[in-house]
Amino acid sequence: MATDTDFIHRVGDLAPALRSGGQRLHRPLLLLWALAQAVNGKPRQQPWSAIRASVTPLLATYAAAPGDQAAVYPFWALRNSNLWEVEGSEELSLTSDGRRPTLSVLNERDPLAGLLAEDHDLLRREPSVAARTASSVLLRFFPDVMVDLARDLDLTTLLAGGIDGALRPRVGEPYANRTAIAAVYGGNGVGGITPLADGILSVYSDDKGPYDDRRVAGMDWIAYTGDGLAGDQKMSGGNRSMSTYRAEQRPLRYWHKPHGGVFTFETWVVIVQCRQRWGVGQNREPRREYVWILAPVPSPLRATWPEEVKEALAQDVADDLKVHDDLDVDLPPVALGDPQGAMTDMERYRKLSAAARRTAAGRTDRSKLTKVERYVRSTAARQAVILRSGGRCENPTCLGHPTELTDKGDPLLEVDHVHELSRGGGDTPESMIALCPNCHTLKTRGSGRQQLRQALLVRAKALHRSFAGSQGEDEKRREPTTGQPL
């Protein structure tokens, strides 16, 4: 007896060939047709002539595959996915290259074909499995015509609860670890970018993991680090999958595990941009890495996506899906106190400060994508502040844990804008400060936060001028005299 996990996994493994005009959707469409036949009480096996008559117009409409020959390919090739069988297939003569029977042979013999018996019985017995499978296939391969195709296949009753409502897991589902997720929904229990058994891509973010994934400051979009633990990341493996989803504007699942928490399917997301920046690999060496900008959406259905997300996707297409290069904005990161050859910490600080100032200059556009660019390109400013701090909280009255380290061996410091960006704060080192979690909380929510912010702004400027030397004095003379924070 087929299990739902096994069946969904075989369906999830469907990988249509990619041609110049896009994916060949013959097999997914035939599978949906067969599923619809099962849930609507039709015979499991039907003759080639009946299948051809039903499927050929669907292939022309929904798979851009017109002509009498269109049904031959999926009728034969779906067998290779262990989902479909053709009765007497060993007796059918094949084309000269041995790839499939000819149309004339199929018309003459008119063989019976259909889903495997155990799969057909599963779909008849478990409508929820049928709905989940149909929804995943529609979402993966027919996102722009889901409603019309479901209607033409007579799947409307099965999917009355909504295509997104039939999918599993549901948003908000928690699991202790990746192994627990894989036990229920299949997929790879290790990779950070990998599909579940239904073939829909998932990305995983663990606050204790090796990647520097963060929410973009001031918004709910996510800067998600690409695939590859050490060395320069390549556009392969998980990054290639992300690139495909980005180009096709397909939704994927975002899982998150906070410190001390569990993995939760937090939200559906779409990829609105890809950037390349400097980062640090698991071996603590600087490397080039990709960062994928993920925009949360209420559901995998495009009709529910916010206008600002649709606008960002349109802008991404207008930019020819380019990888935005931020490598020239800052310097490859180094460990605290590492002079990296002849460059001292102060020299490095000056270069990082100059890079941060160039990034901040002239940025008045408040669009979502500009905020993303500001955030990702402010790496130089963050590096400069951490370098300046020497790994210690920069609040002179700190009573917390000024020298604690994270699990990764980094300073347990949060680089913060003394005044929020939304309130006119500057995105340069003299307006930013490194705080331990305790001082950060006091600065954000403490009863004396206003006085502390003023003291920290004075402190940040003093530390900046001291660390930058003569360059700091030049910047001081260029500061505005309006009394507004930088």
pLDDT at 277: 87
Category of 127 on φ-ψ map: left (φ > 0), alpha (ψ -120 to 50) or beta = alpha
Asked if residues 429 and 388 have their Cβ atoms less than 8 Å apart, the reply is yes
- Name residue 293's amino acid: I
**Per residue in 206-246, pLDDT tens?**
988 888 788 887 788 999 999 999 899 999 999 999 999 99
Q: Look-up: residue for tokens 């099962």?
A: 38
Structural domain spans, the chain:
4-166, 169-327, 332-486
Top CATH class of 169-327 equals mainly beta
Environment class of 282 (CB within 10 Å of its CB; exposed 0-12, middle 13-18, buried 19+): middle
For residue 175, what are its two tokens? 């699991």
Residue 325, Cα to own-chain centre: how many angstroms?
19
pLDDT at 335: 46
Dump the DSSP string for 162-198: -HHHHSSSPTT-EESSHHHHHHHH-S-SS-SEEE-TT
> Which residues of the chain fall short of a pLDDT of 70?
1-2, 20-21, 328-343, 359, 361-367, 371, 373-378, 407-408, 420-426, 470-486
Long-range contact pairs involving 475-478 (C-beta distance under 8 Å, separation at least 24): 475/353, 475/357, 475/430
pLDDT at 483: 33
